[in-house]
Every structure is written in structure tokens, then in C-alpha cells.
Amino acid sequence: MDDNRIIKTEYSELMQKSYIDYAMSVIVARALPDVRDGLKPVQRRVLYDMYELGIRHDRPYRKSARIVGDTMGKYHPHGDSSIYDALVVMAQDFKKGQTLIDGHGNFGNIEGDGAAAMRYTEARLEKLTQDAFLEDLDKDVVDFVPNFDETEKEPAVLPCKLPNLLVNGSEGIAVGMATSIPPHNLGEVVDAVKAYMQDETISTRELMRFLQGPDFPTGGIVTNKDELLSIYETGTGKIRLRGRVETEKGKNGRINVVITEIPYTMIGANIGKFLSDVAALAETKKTTDIVDISNQSSKEGIRIVIELKKDADADNFINMLYKKTRLEDTFGVNMLAIAGGRPETLGLKQIIKANVEFQFEVNRRKYETLLKKEQAKREIQEGLIKACNVIDLIIEILRGSRDRAMAKACLVEGITEGIRFKSRESAVMAAQLRFSENQANAILDMRLYRLIGLEIEALVREHEETVANIYRYEDILERKSAMAQVIINDLDALKKEYARKRSTRIDNCTEAVFEEKKVEEIQVYCLIDKFGYTRTVDAAAYERNQEAALSENRFVFPVKNTGRVCLFTDTGQLYTVKVSDLPFGKFRDKAVPLDNVSNYDSTKEQLLLAVGQSDLNLYRLLFFTRQGMAKLVDGGEFDVMKRTVAATKLQEGDSVADVTVYREQKYVTLQSKEGFFLRFLLEEIPEKKKNAVGVRAIKLSGTDELEAVYYTGAADDTSISYKSRTLALNQLKLAHRDGRGTKVRG
């Protein structure tokens, strides 16, 4: 056979197969949890490695770096940060319904501060993890598979005794799919599993009598109780969450609004965002009730205090927080997990069913293993009891045998040749012995102290206990109801020891409604300086400082405080900004960069025109591009609510040279980079739609491009400085649009 064959294949087919293989690898072996134990591979490997290292709940803590390194070297050939992140999350009580790892040291906090480096923190298994996930691993209850380099064995799944997928939930992003499962109350999950086991035809609605809904470790309130049934039947939907808010009497008769529980989605950096959002409500005058904000949260729990004025309407203010901040948020549910080796979206009943079937499989294997051990034990015990009854004969055989093999052959098969007996009767009796091989080995290994009367009695009692165990195990394996009772007993024990009171309230809440104080509409002036800093001032302040305003700023225009400002750039984009988002105050107050209040990026584009949106409805805009294209556009086309839209269509490699409002200008003079000047009447430029390229205004040759645009009236005497001379624009020859223009030499 020729080893140098060239195999021709379709490239697209190869790429498709390779990508599908990669995607399935990410889905099954990295990002999604298994429905049976509710764990992703990295979590399972961390827990198993800690079990192997003997880091139990009653043993000393071990360095996290030791656990991470061992897991990475033996089972998880990926980055150490992903392993440590998984370990940290399993130890954070504000993320998990039940922590699986007992962390010692800085494991981060609810406000988003990360855990300390793995070389500083220590960890050990929680007692729950040992009792519910790892207890039966030594009883051949799950399959073990080779690790990545086939030097170790690891469990394909942990023998978890309850639906951990529900208890702790899961979040993960795979390729083309994601999972998002909320945590639930352990006691309620156990009750739901028991209800299913007692009646497998039970409906999701009936299951929800036991499992009310999600139970987030951060507490809060689920406000759409009536929608939960649909979510748990389909496995997808949106849960609406609210923080828990109380009111207290503050100093000097003021009212304190105190947030004691936050939505689960607010964990981490979103607490800081919430505080800045509340501050923004005050800064933008959405509310004038706020006196002070303070975050008094500690290890004892969340406590965010917002101090309000004496006459404030606290209920209306709380409703505003629900509407304008993340104090009310949605948790997207997508209960996607690996079931039967493939990703599947599962409802509540399907998850419980899969776990119960897994429990029956695990317990079947467990009791088959235990039964084999007890049967082997019974065989040995029966052999020893029988040997004790004929101990004198056994001793005679042992003393008369040349070696162990001769004695064993006599015990097992009754072969007496070569053995010296004291009497013929002994030889006849020895020939009738028929111990099993295991019994013979046990007799030969037996120590003399076992012949003491009390030891023989203990052996008989052990045998009785073994027989009882065999009977019980056989009953469990033969009767499904008996095995179901064993599973229920395990669940009851876990519930008794680990169940906690529900934290999250489930309710139907009406949508938050608040009366927004109407802003009195006034005219203000928007000021934008040459550095792109902007602010607004009232008309009186502008009139007092008109000369300074015009000299210090690039754009100055009147606008309503309820309106919008339009920003046109050389990239052909239009950015809109609410005037209410701009700082308003005294003439010399601090301004903010346009970048901070709009999508405009001063590092990548140049601002050409800023104007009030309401003014655009009265006028038309003139556009000129670097490649010499021009058009007039009705200003009403820019009356949009979006923050970013395309203001004009550009040809490849083109950019906008100038945008201006067309009012009373009569002539336009175009100057090219190579010194060509073309002057013509503006009325020659046709009106087009904003998404049109326009018409050619000037013919440009080679690499020449439009450099400057000048507008003049009928009687204007406008002069510009060009190179080393002064050029009067109205003295230039009047030509027509789409001409080459006149070359002006310096």
C-alpha cells in the first residue's frame, strides 16, 4: 500500500466537520453541566481531585494552588485560571445555593472584588459534598474513564444524591448555545423529587406545590409568579426580580430608603453601577429628592441607604428605582444541560426524572457491589464456623502436611495422600472435607486467638448480621419500591441536615409606576469648545457672557432643555444627545467631553457640525465630501431618536469635508488641495435623500481632494489667506457646478 497517497477533499466539508467537532467538544466537555450531577467537567474534576487528595471537611485546609495544579496535571489540561475560577465560584455563598467547597481566605465578595491569588487561599470539601456527591465512589456506582493522557482514571459523573442542577443552578456559554439555570431551595427540591417518586405521572403544576420557584442566595423578590409554570414546563423564559426595600426614619425628620436585598443579577460590579445610576438620577435632575447615598454593606449583609428630603414621596421614589435602575431586573432562564450525551433544554419534571433514573442506576450498582461483598464475607464466615466445629481435625491436617499446598488440597478436595494422621478415622473424615478455595485460604490464614469462645460467638453474630444484610440487599435489588425507599431515606437525611429557610419571596407584583415630575421647558444655550467639551447655560447667563461664549467656543446655539443635540462627523455619522444628559449650570461650571455623553469618538473622527435637532426641521443641510460630491438634504430627515445613524452615504475611501445649515448663503467656493478654486451658485446643488451619494460638485484629478468650503452672500466681501496672498472670494470667476475651477498660485 502506498503511504504517500494524496487524499482530495472538499475544503468546505473539512472545515464544517472540524468546526462541528470543536463545537461539540466545547458543548459537552467544557461549557454545559450534566443533568445527572449538575456539574461541568472542570467542577467535577476539582471535587474529585480534592477527594483523591483526602482534603475532607474534617481535615486541615490545603492551598488552592496545590489543588489547581494537581487537577490540571491529572484531569483538566486547560489554563489554571479556569480551574481556580471554578473552585472559587463553588466556595462563594452569594453565588451558590449550597457551597460545595469550604474556602479559607479571601474568596471575593458580593460587590465584585475578586478572590485572592491561589497561592494565598486554602480550601477543603464541604460536608455536603462528601455526603451527597462523593460518598459512594468506592462502590463502583459510576463508570471511570481514562483522563486526557490515559495515565489516570476519572469518574464520568459523580454519584450525586439530589438534583444539583436545580439546587445550585448553572451558567455557561458554549458554541451557539448557552445555559442559565437559577438556584433553588434544597428542602423544596427534595420534596419535589419525593413527590415525583411517589407519582411519576405528576404534573409540573403539582410539582410546583413543593418547589415554589427559584431561591437566590441574595434573596430578593420574584415578581412574576404566574409566569413560572410556563418557564418550568418549557425550560425557558424570563424571571423578573426585585431587591427588597424598606423605609426608615432618618435624621432631622428625613426618610431613609434602605435596600437590604438585591436581585441576583446585581452581584458584582452591578452594585457599583446601581450606585452610580442613582447618583445620575440626581445629577440629571430626574429627581431632586436625594440628599445622600451610602453603601453600608458588610459581612452581615447588604445595606444601601438613600437619604431623602423630608417631604419626599418614598413610594414614588422606590418605584422610580425599580424603573430606572437594576433594582428590578430580569433573569433569563434557559435550562440547557447534557442529557444522554447531547445538549437538551429540559423542564422541571424532565430534570427530576433524569436525576431519579440516575439515582436508581447508582443505587442498583451500589447494592450489587455491597451484595457481592456480603456474599463473599458469608462464604468465609461459614467456612470458619464449620472449621471451628472440626478444629481438631483441621489441626491434625495442618500438622501432618508437608506444605500449604498439601493442606489446601485436603481442605478443598479431600486429598489425604502424604498427610500423616493420628488415626484412620481422621483420614476418613479429612477425605470428606469440601471447603471452597476462599474458605480454605481463610482457614489457613486464621490466627489461633479466633478459637477463643467469645471470638467464635462474635463470628456467629457477624454471620447472622451478614445474612441479614444479604437478605436486605437482595430485597432492595428485587423490589423497586424498596430501592425507592432507600433513595427517599437518603434525601430525607440530606434535607434534615442541610435544608435552609427560603431566602427569595415568590409573588405577583404589579408593575412599578411612578409619576415623573414634568420638567419645565425652557430655552438654554449649548456651548461646545474646540476640544469637544460641552455644557448648557440658561439664556440669561448666555446673554451676560455672550462675547466670551462666542470667542471661547466652536459651536454655540439655542436649544430646548427637553430637546436633542445633533452631532455630524467626517465619517458620515450622526450622533444625537439628549440636552438633559448635558451638564447645566453657571457659565464657568465644569463641562464634559462629548465622548462621555454620546457615541462620538474624538480619537477616530472629527466633529464638523453641532446643531439643535428642532432647528433642523426648519432648514436644509449642505454636504460636501473629500471626493467632491455634494447634496442638499431636508433637515427633517435627521429628526431621529436613535443615538447613532448614518447621516449620508459615502463612496469607498471618501469622507465628509463639510456640513452646514443652508440658510441665506448664495454662493459656494470650493478649494482643492492642489489649489483649484471653483465658485458657483448654491442653487445648482440638487436636494437628495440622506442615503444618496449626491452629485459631483468639482472635478478633481489624480490624488487631489476637496480641502475647504467657503459660503458667501450676494453682497459679502469675504477674503481668505491662501499661501502668501489674500484672496477675495467674490472676485473669483463665477462658474458652474462640476467644473475644474481656476488654479490659484501662491
Point out the residues that are catalytic. 120
Cβ atoms within 10 Å, residue 288 = 11
- Report residue 608: phi and psi, to 5°: -105, -35
d(CA 64, CA 50): 10
Neighbouring-strand partners of residue 681: 667
Q: What is the secondary structure of 125-179 as a DSSP string? A: E-HHHIIIIITTGGGT-S-EEE-TTSSSEEESS---SS-HHHHT-EEEE-SS-EE
Q: Enter the DSSP assignment of 727.
A: E
Whose grid coordinates read 409540573? 204
Residue 328, CA atoms < 13 Å, CB-side half-sphere: 17
The number of CA neighbours under 13 Å toward the Cβ of 524 is 25
Per the listing, cell 433637515 goes with 635
Q: Which residue has the cell 468465609?
A: 380
Rg (CA), the chain: 41
Residue 281 has φ and ψ, to the nearest 5°, of -60, -35
Taking a C-beta distance cutoff of 8 angstroms, is the pair 634, 620 a contact? yes
For 116-122, the CB contacts below 8 A with 24+ separation are 118/63, 118/64, 118/65, 118/68, 118/80, 118/84, 118/87, 119/63, 119/64, 119/65, 121/63, 121/64, 122/61, 122/62, 122/63, 122/64
Gap between the Cα atoms of 524 and 584, Å rounded? 9
Q: What is the phi-psi region of residue 223: left when phi exceeds 0, alpha when psi lies from -120 to 50, beta otherwise?
A: alpha
For residues 614 and 569, the answer to whether their CB atoms sit within 8 Å is no
Cβ neighbours of residue 88 closer than 8 Å, sequence gap 6 or more: 103, 107, 108, 115
C-alpha cell at 343: 445538549
Amino acid in the structure at residue 725: R
Burial bucket for residue 725 (CB in 10 Å: 0-12, 13-18, 19+): exposed
SS3 call for 521? coil
- Set of cell numbers at residue 312: 419626599
